[in-house]
A and B are shown apart, each in its own frame.
Chain A
Amino acid sequence: MRKGFSLLEMTLSAFLMGMAVALAFGLFSFGSRAFRLGSLRSGLQAEARRIYSQLDWDLRRTDMSTLSLVTSADDPMRQVPNVTGTLVERDGVCMAGLSDWRAAGSYDAATLRPRWDRYVVYFATTEATGGRLLRQVLTPSGAPFDSPYAALTLDPDVPGDVLAQHVDEFKVSRDATTDSIVVQLKLRERGGQKVGTAGKNLDETLELGFQVGPENTAR
């Protein structure tokens, strides 16, 4: 004679099944949050490396006498509250550059110094939710240039490269004692959740600081 399950067997199997399902879903949730946090970190890191390599390259090759900074001291709009309400700097820096470093015509025949034929501008936009870091190349008339770009305006609508989308702070200053530029960069992204907490949001921040001496500065 075949008999069905007893109430105890049903309860026990339902309990075990529930445990297994809860475990599986818990792990799935943990895994998806870990993956999200991991990809968020990788994204910030890629942005940081991109900014560092480009900005370091341009700064290292320029001439300090052609360089100009736009900070909150010149333009109060450069200081903005970030997502947490903290006031942060979103500065700009403009420097002379060369369109072709290999061309003989890019250098002065007598002094062998570069004949600067364009300006390169880096600046962070001022959205509270996270600025973009833009790199623009300006080619006004009057080259070669030997002084800072007088008509500089930080216009996000000018076509250029977007190096990062999650800039929290971009602070640029001049170190007068070493005749160099100090850059402080903070990238921040919301949406990460701390693994192991019940939905607690955790912002991710990646900070880089570097100091570069423009090597084509006349001594």
Chain B
Amino acid sequence: MATRRGLTVLETVIALGLLAAMLLGLAAFFTNILAATAKQDDLTAGVVFAQKQLDKAVLEGTYANSTAEVQQGIYTHDSANQTSFFYKLTSTPVPLPSPSTQNGYWLEAQVWWWSTGPAQGRGRVGMLSTKLGQLVTPP
């Protein structure tokens, strides 16, 4: 008759280790979901913010010499804390295609947040910046 025996300490430790690894994996999954939704919120606000800077430069007629670099706080998810958005506006004269004889301006708004520059990202969430461009033709 076969004898039944309990689990050894090693088996128990391995089972608990596997369980812990699975639970930690799940926790990391949920943390990543949260980070992704937060990034989506920031990106939505960032794109609208960038568009606002482009529209503002066109409306104010400063598109030919826009080199502003400014910071603004915007609520993007947490009601208690604002996210700081930074933007940089650059304007480059570009010749317009024939038969036009005048120059247009390629206006570009770069917006970034949670980082020290537009080309920097963060681990697991990637780049925290966005860039919009618009060709402005003088009236």
Any B CB within 8 A of the CB of A205: yes
Interface string of A184-219 (1 = CB under 8 A from B): 001010000001000000111111111111000000
Any B CB within 8 A of the CB of A99: no
Using CB atoms, name the residue of chain B closest to A208: B48
Q: Which residues of A contact B78 (CB under 8 A)?
A: 202, 204-205
Q: How far is the CB of B53 from chain A (nearest CB, A)?
A: 9
Any A CB within 8 A of the CB of B116: no
Contact B33 A178 (CB under 8 A): no
Any B CB within 8 A of the CB of A34: yes
Q: Which residues of A contact B75 (CB under 8 A)?
A: 186, 205-207
The docked-state distance in angstroms from the alpha carbon of A44 to that of B77 is 9
Q: Which of B36, B51, B52, B79 contacts A203 (CB 8 A)?
A: B79
Contact B77 A35 (CB under 8 A): no
Any A CB within 8 A of the CB of B137: no
Total A-B pairs, Cβ < 8 A: 98
Using CB atoms, name the residue of chain B closest to A44: B41
Any B CB within 8 A of the CB of A23: yes
From DSSP, what is the main secondary structure of chain B's interface residues? helix
Contact A210 B51 (CB under 8 A): yes
Q: Which residues of A contact B30 (CB under 8 A)?
A: 30-31, 34-35, 195
Any B CB within 8 A of the CB of A42: yes
Comparing B54-62, B90-98, B104-112, the segment that makes contact with chain A is: B54-62
A208 with B45: in contact, given A27-B27, A38-B34, A45-B40 (CB under 8 Å)? Answer: yes
A204 with B23: in contact, given A34-B30, A37-B37, A41-B37 (CB under 8 Å)? Answer: no
- Add 8 more A-B contacts to A20-B16, A30-B30 (CB < 8 A): A16-B16, A27-B23, A35-B30, A37-B34, A195-B31, A204-B79, A208-B48, A210-B52
A contact set with B: CB distance below 8 Å: 16, 20, 23-24, 27, 30-31, 34-35, 37-38, 41-42, 44-45, 48-49, 52, 175, 177-180, 186, 188, 195, 202-213
B contact set with A: CB distance below 8 Å: 12, 16, 19-20, 23, 26-27, 30-31, 33-34, 36-38, 40-41, 44-45, 48-49, 51-52, 55-56, 58-60, 74-80
13 residue pairs A–B, Cβ–Cβ below 8 Å:
A24-B23, A34-B31, A34-B33, A37-B34, A42-B40, A44-B41, A49-B44, A180-B59, A195-B30, A206-B75, A207-B76, A210-B55, A211-B56
